Amino acid sequence: MVNSVVLKNASIIDGSGSAPYSGHLVIKENKIDSIHQEDAFSQDTEASIIDLKGKTVMPGLIDAHCHISFDEPRSNDELFFHRREGLAAIIAGTNALKVLQSGVTSFFDADSLYSVGVDLRDAIESGVIVGPRMAVGGNALLTSAGGTAGRLIPDEGKRGYGAVVTSKDEIILEIRRQIKMGVDWIKIHVSGMVPRQSSEGELKAWSLDELKLACDTAHELGIPVVGHCRGADSVKDALLAGFDMILHGTYMDEEGLEIMIERNVPLVPTFTFQANLIDYAEKMEASTDYKEIFEKEIQDNVPIFTKAFEAGVPFICGSESGFSVTPYGDWHYKELEVFVEKLGLTPLEAITCATKNAASAMKRDDIGLIAEGKIADLLVVDGDPSKDVTILGDKNLIKHVFLNGKDIDLTPAPKRFKDPDGWRISAYSNKILEK
């Protein structure tokens, strides 16, 4: 028997940016079979019918920046030195379910501890565990100048999510090795927080030649390249080298913006991490240094980002979920809120950034939209997110999540489990004793 579900009387936000309309949506097997605006339509008598009066159906959210293997570390020290491969993979399975239950039907994990990303994606695709669709990178490529973890990055070899490449030969070798292991993307930390740096973003840690070599090597094997770039030079050189997506992109200058527009490269600002740290600094006992840096980063970049959006750069929502500041399952919607509040997007525009536009992070055009023939990855929410995107962050209002046409069990995954032995940093004290 064909699995058939009718979602009746729904307000439909299709992800394209068009205004919501009311109608009935028929799911057959894993696809959106048909959409009807008239009440009389021939429907399968065997179909299960769900009445969605007062509710909205929209494409499932796609989070284009989620670190599923990290398990919410409070610091880079914890992330780089306190994680074990097998346990990280097992825990990531539970965390993936939390992500799905929050309405995220796909996410992009650009870099991973060990090979957890590829393994988790394959386990989900094989039906071993239930989780969102995944697109994955392997270890982020870094030079010995480091990435966002400063001196914790070794001069060579691997640590945490990073693989340090020390020569052109190593760049080629590492990229080909990752592609052989099955990555969907290559991730490069183009910029890094080098000690004693200036305050406008991070320093570029790669030469343009090295970035071009990396892109050519990946592209020849059909794999796209995504860059962590904070700073004008790193954005510009990544774009010149042929990068397919830019994460952060802050402190981009006019020249960089021109190239981004011309090449139509998507941008994933990922302000959620900063926004959460600013909003909840006291509650989390966060460092005031970080709070100041992040407030400045958002403020400084609103003008160039607004200009980029108006010029047609595809904006994509990514939450940087996976840190203590951005726990799994809670904050995937928040980038939409930041886009509306800080960048002045309409709620519908922000929804497009988290659905249709974000499908490009997955390199798929069969998801991210409600249209006949698309895959039925859907989110049903009580209320109207085209008026207020924050309702997408209220779990009580998430009524159904359909993944591949299947109505997912929303019985909550375990919220936080007991920390396994040695999983977190144990400090002698949080402050130094003052006499």
Q: Which residue is nearest to Zn ion (CB)?
A: 320
**Beta carbon of residue 323, minimum distance to Zn ion (angstroms, whole number):** 8
Give me the least distance between CB of 72 and Zn ion, in Å please: 13
Specify the residue, 119 or 320, whose C-beta has the smaller distance to Zn ion. Answer: 320
Q: Write phi, then psi, for 24 (nearest 5 degrees).
A: -125, 140
Query: Which own/partner pairs from 214-221 qualify as long-range (CB within 8 Å, at least 24 positions apart)?
Result: 214/141, 214/171, 214/175, 214/186, 214/188, 214/241, 215/241, 215/242, 215/243, 216/242, 217/171, 217/172, 217/175, 217/176, 218/175, 218/179, 218/186, 221/175, 221/176, 221/179
CA distance 153 to 162: 8
Cβ proximity to Zn ion, 305 vs 402, nearer residue? 305
Q: Which is nearer to Zn ion, 14 or 109 (CB)?
A: 109
The CB-of-322 to Zn ion minimum distance in angstroms stands at 8
Smallest gap, in angstroms, from Cβ of residue 174 to Zn ion? 19
Q: Closer to Zn ion by CB, 70 or 339: give it.
A: 70
Cβ nearer to Zn ion, comparing 68 with 398: 68
Q: What's the CA dihedral at 305, 309, 313, 315 to 10 degrees?
A: 80
Nearer to Zn ion, 4 or 112 (CB): 112
Question: What's the closest the beta carbon of residue 335 comes to Zn ion, in angstroms?
Answer: 12
* Minimal distance, residue 53 CB to Zn ion, in Å: 40
Least Å distance, CB 109 to Zn ion, is 9
Q: Which is nearer to Zn ion, 15 or 162 (CB)?
A: 162
Smallest distance from the beta carbon of 184 to Zn ion, in angstroms? Answer: 16
Nearer to Zn ion by C-beta: 333 or 402?
A: 333
Q: How many angstroms separate the Cα of 374 from the Cα of each of 19, 27, 369?
A: 19, 10, 7
Q: Measured from the CB atom, is 149 or 239 closer to Zn ion?
A: 149
Strands 225-230 and 21-28, bridge-based pairing: unpaired
Q: Which amino acid is at 401?
A: V
Tell me how far, at minimum, the Cβ of 428 lies from Zn ion, in Å: 30
Report the side by side order of strands in the sheet with 225-230: 157-159, 162-164, 140-142, 186-189, 225-230, 245-250, 267-268
Q: How far is the CB of 382 from Zn ion (least distance, A)?
A: 31
> Cβ closer to Zn ion: 52 or 79?
79
| Residue placing its CB nearer to Zn ion in the complex, 58 or 226 | 226
Contacts to Zn ion by CB under 5 A: 320
State in angstroms the smallest separation of the CB of 288 from Zn ion.
22
Q: For residue 328, which amino acid is it?
A: Y
Question: Is the separation of the CB atoms in 40 and 82 below 8 Å?
Answer: no
